[in-house]
């Protein structure tokens, strides 16, 4: 393996090809729809039937053949109507709605160079499952449950599975702020305050930087203790907490977590505190947690 030659935009060369620009795009954006409403799948406008509407918008599709093929971009300037096959008389099925890039230069079996909406039809069953996807260079937009004997598809049958494209260096911050009084006076770690934040971890994330800002800390009687941040089942390190009677201050904690095992799930973020010595308690009035995710 070696660098693609020539490097993109070098010396105003006429040798640059489409792959050069796709690889550049792959370095800048992840696969996904460009905006919140782009390529959203819904029931047919007007009178629903056995088809679905796919909204206009842009999409980034990273090649599933090879990372060296880079990322394609496609834009639909109007609603596309996609037809589903007739329903089974006895059992439901699940169909998958994809946007697929067809690139003849990458597959000699193709005779088209385009982007299209593709319906991958499932197999009817009492408990149906989504069908396997056997094409390349696609992004899934929705899954459609086709009820037995259905004559139309409505929004209640459609599950949106789109993901938003994000810059590859995007921190994807999630912020949770609560105004709550919490007393840290237990001998072992306890939630401080009791409020926790639900954090959706992006599917592409491999690590998270958690910043917890705890404001207006007041020590009632002398005490020394520790405070930490918790993300999911992972505990951060011990940070000092406490002081003499009447102490007032703030505390900011920054911790890095590996989140590979929880990517694509929802976890809780919180702060915990404990008293190590003394007889007092540490009380605060406000806590803000910010979680930045990175690939």
Phi, psi values for residue 107, rounded to 5°: -145, 110
Give bridge partners of residue 60 from the DSSP assignment: 32, 73
What does the alpha-carbon distance between residue 162 and residue 51 come to, in Å, rounded to a whole number? 18
Instruction: In the chain, list all ranges with CATH 2.60.120.760.
Output: 173-294
- For residue 176, what are its two tokens? 């949770």
What does the alpha-carbon distance between residue 188 and residue 58 come to, in Å, rounded to a whole number? 52
Per-residue model confidence as pLDDT tens digits over 104-119: 888 888 888 899 999 9
* The pLDDT of residue 34 is above 60: yes
**Listed residue (41, 54, 118, 50) closest to 87, CA to CA:** 50
* The pLDDT of residue 149 is above 60: yes
> Mean pLDDT, to the nearest integer, of 110-132?
93
- Give percent above pLDDT 70 in the chain: 88
Q: What is the mean pLDDT of the chain?
A: 85
Phi, psi values for residue 25, rounded to 5°: -60, -35
Residue 78 or 66, more confident: 78
Q: What does the pLDDT read at residue 255?
A: 93
> Mean pLDDT, to the nearest integer, of 233-249?
82
Q: What does the pLDDT read at residue 115?
A: 92
**Tally of CB atoms within 10 A around 26:** 20
Residue 31 or 282, more confident: 31
Residues 6+ apart with CB under 8 A from 21: 8, 70
Would you say 271 and 189 are in contact if contact means Cβ atoms under 8 Å apart? no
* The pLDDT of residue 1 is above 50: no
Least confident range from 61-75, 127-141, 170-184: namely 170-184
Which CATH number does the domain 173-294 belong to among 1.20.1260.10, 3.40.50.300, 3.30.420.480, 2.60.120.760?
2.60.120.760
* The pLDDT of residue 8 is above 70: no
What does the alpha-carbon distance between residue 254 and residue 252 come to, in Å, rounded to a whole number? 7
Q: What does the pLDDT read at residue 224?
A: 83
Give bridge partners of residue 140 from the DSSP assignment: 98
Using the structure block, give the residue that is written with the tokens 């999630």: 174
**Tally of CB atoms within 10 A around 150:** 18
Per-residue model confidence as pLDDT tens digits over 11-20: 556 666 788 7
* The pLDDT of residue 249 is above 70: yes
What does the alpha-carbon distance between residue 287 and residue 42 come to, in Å, rounded to a whole number? 40
How far does the chain reach from its first CA to its final CA, in angstroms?
24
Residues 6+ apart with CB under 8 A from 144: 41, 52, 84, 94, 95, 96, 97, 153, 157, 158, 159
Would you say 116 and 56 are in contact if contact means Cβ atoms under 8 Å apart? no
Pairing of strands 190-191, 32-33: unpaired
């Amino acid at each position: 393996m070696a660098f693609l030659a020539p490097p993109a935009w070098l010396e105003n060369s006429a040798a640059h090809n489409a792959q050069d620009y796709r690889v550049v795009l792959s370095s800048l954006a992840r696969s996904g729809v460009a905006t919140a409403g782009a390529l959203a799948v819904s029931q047919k406008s007007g009178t629903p039937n056995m088809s679905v509407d796919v909204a206009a918008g842009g999409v980034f599709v990273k090649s599933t053949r090879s990372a060296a093929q880079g990322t394609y971009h496609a834009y639909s300037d109007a609603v596309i109507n996609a037809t589903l096959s007739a329903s089974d008389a006895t059992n439901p099925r699940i169909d998958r709605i994809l946007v697929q890039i067809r690139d003849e230069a990458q597959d000699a079996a193709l005779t088209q160079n385009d982007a299209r909406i593709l319906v991958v039809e499932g197999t009817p069953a009492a408990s149906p499952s989504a069908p396997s996807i056997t094409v390349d260079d696609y992004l899934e937009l929705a899954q459609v449950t086709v009820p037995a004997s259905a004559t139309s598809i409505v929004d209640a049958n459609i599950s949106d599975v789109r993901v938003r494209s994000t810059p590859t260096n995007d921190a994807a911050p999630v912020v949770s702020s609560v105004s709550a009084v919490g007393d840290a006076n237990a001998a072992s770690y306890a939630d401080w305050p009791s409020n926790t934040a639900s954090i959706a971890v992006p599917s592409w994330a491999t690590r998270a930087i958690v910043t917890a800002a705890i404001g207006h800390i007041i020590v009632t009687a002398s005490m020394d203790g520790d405070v930490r941040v918790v993300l999911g089942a992972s505990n951060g390190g011990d940070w000092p907490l406490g002081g003499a009677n009447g102490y007032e201050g703030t505390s900011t904690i920054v911790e890095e977590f590996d989140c590979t095992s929880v990517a694509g799930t929802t976890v809780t973020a919180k702060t915990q505190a404990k008293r190590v010595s003394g007889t007092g308690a540490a009380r605060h009035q406000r806590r803000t947690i910010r979680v930045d995710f990175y690939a």
